[in-house]
A = this chain, B = another copy of it.
Amino acid sequence: MKKNILVIPGDGIGPEVTTWGKAALEKIAEIFGHEFIFEEALMGHAAIEVTGEPLPDATLEKARQSDAILFGAIGHAKYDNDPSLKVRPEQGLLKIRKELGLFANLRPILLFDELLQASSIKPEILRGTDILFFRELTGDVYFGEKTRSEDRNTASDLMIYHRYEVERIAHKAYQAAQQRNKRLCSVDKANVLESSRLWRETVQEIAKQYPDVETEHMFIDNAAMQLIKNPKKFDVVLTANLFGDILTDEASQIAGSMGMLASASVGESTGFFEPIHGSAHDIAGKDLANPLASILSAALMLEIGFGLKEEAKVLVDTIDQVLKEGFRTHDIADQNTNRFKVLGTAEMGKLVLK
């Protein structure tokens, strides 16, 4: 198989983790005889520094021409501390999601047995958990009109949904549920928000086309609680952009660490694969980041992007093996014991490749 892959390292720990996601893809190509052609491009703070734009046209052009994109992370403390800056790294990520029509963000909560102890949640609560989130990614308050009054004392963001936006992701989520445990939980705030009422109405309609899937509707506040109270009860979770952002980060504690979770954004054409962790400037360049989420992003690219299930499995199994052998990065090591061999980013990356 021949594929063009665009690598966008981005900001913070993005470059150092993406190195290993890319290396994993190269290794897979070598083993299975595929031809993966890599290009690289700028986005975020890294792009602003060079071009003044968070998403340069050249990056978007390359993105459109590639078969899949491996992304690192975005964001920089400078902008976080100064809300008044007009050009911001995150605009690059939001724009590429919109431009490529990446309306469905899939976030599987993959639980490695070996990491049950790394979570703040009790192992007996976690064991057996298997959740697949479908987060809507190109609508909601993320993309609605933003305003700031002239005196700068009033600011607003429009939370808005169109029926077709809910329909298309609902279909994807239901189809996935059919292949899994046939349960779908749609999360909204329909007791307060009109956009959530449209969301709920629409999901109720689509549900009729999937009578083999059991549908539940849950309010976001309750979902944030149930997710950690009893994660096993969830199978597919379908939700809006903002609620999905919050719930999936929360769910990272189920997997033991944010450093272990990858996501796939799909929609109209090219798929976009990235860790769910952020740019983590505080640890950037210190060889402390966990490269496993980037390698798992590569695995998602193989599986969801290219339909290469066996190749994806090799990566996941290798990570499982490395964990079984007691190797950990800082984020998933239990500081209180000497049970683990704690590795830096590069050592962990190399070990998985071996």
Contacts and interface: CB of A to CB of B under 8 A. Distances in A.
Interface of A: 75, 79-81, 83-84, 88, 90, 94, 120-122, 125, 141-142, 144, 146-148, 152-164, 189-198, 200-201, 204, 217, 220-222, 224-225, 227-230, 242, 245-250, 252-253, 258, 278
Contacts of A204: 83
Nearest to A195: B155
Given A90-B191, A194-B148, A230-B120, A201 B250 contact: no
B79 A191 contact: yes
Given A122-B120, A250-B228, A157 B221 contact: no
Contact of A198 (B120, B154, B249): B154
Interface centre among A154, A156, A201, A258 (most CB of B within 10 A): A156
A159 B196 CA distance: 14
Contact of A224 (B159, B189, B230, B250): B250
Interface centre among A197, A200, A250 (most CB of B within 10 A): A250
A49 to B, nearest CB: 17
B158 A158 contact: yes
A14 to B, nearest CB: 15
A224 B147 CA distance: 27
A141 B242 CA distance: 12
Nearest to A126: B120
Number of copies: 2
Given A83-B197, A154-B161, A227-B250, 5 more contacts: A156-B160, A156-B161, A157-B160, A189-B242, A224-B250
Given A83-B200, A228-B228, A146 B222 contact: no
Interface centre among A80, A152, A228 (most CB of B within 10 A): A228
A83 B224 contact: no
Contacts of A90: 191-192
A225 B250 contact: yes
28 contacts: A79-B191, A83-B190, A83-B200, A84-B197, A88-B191, A120-B229, A121-B122, A141-B141, A146-B193, A146-B194, A152-B198, A153-B164, A154-B198, A155-B161, A155-B198, A157-B159, A157-B160, A157-B193, A157-B194, A158-B159, A189-B242, A220-B245, A221-B245, A224-B246, A224-B247, A225-B250, A228-B228, A250-B250
A23 to B, nearest CB: 28
A163 B153 CA distance: 5
A248 B220 CA distance: 11
A201 B147 CA distance: 15
A153 to B, nearest CB: 4
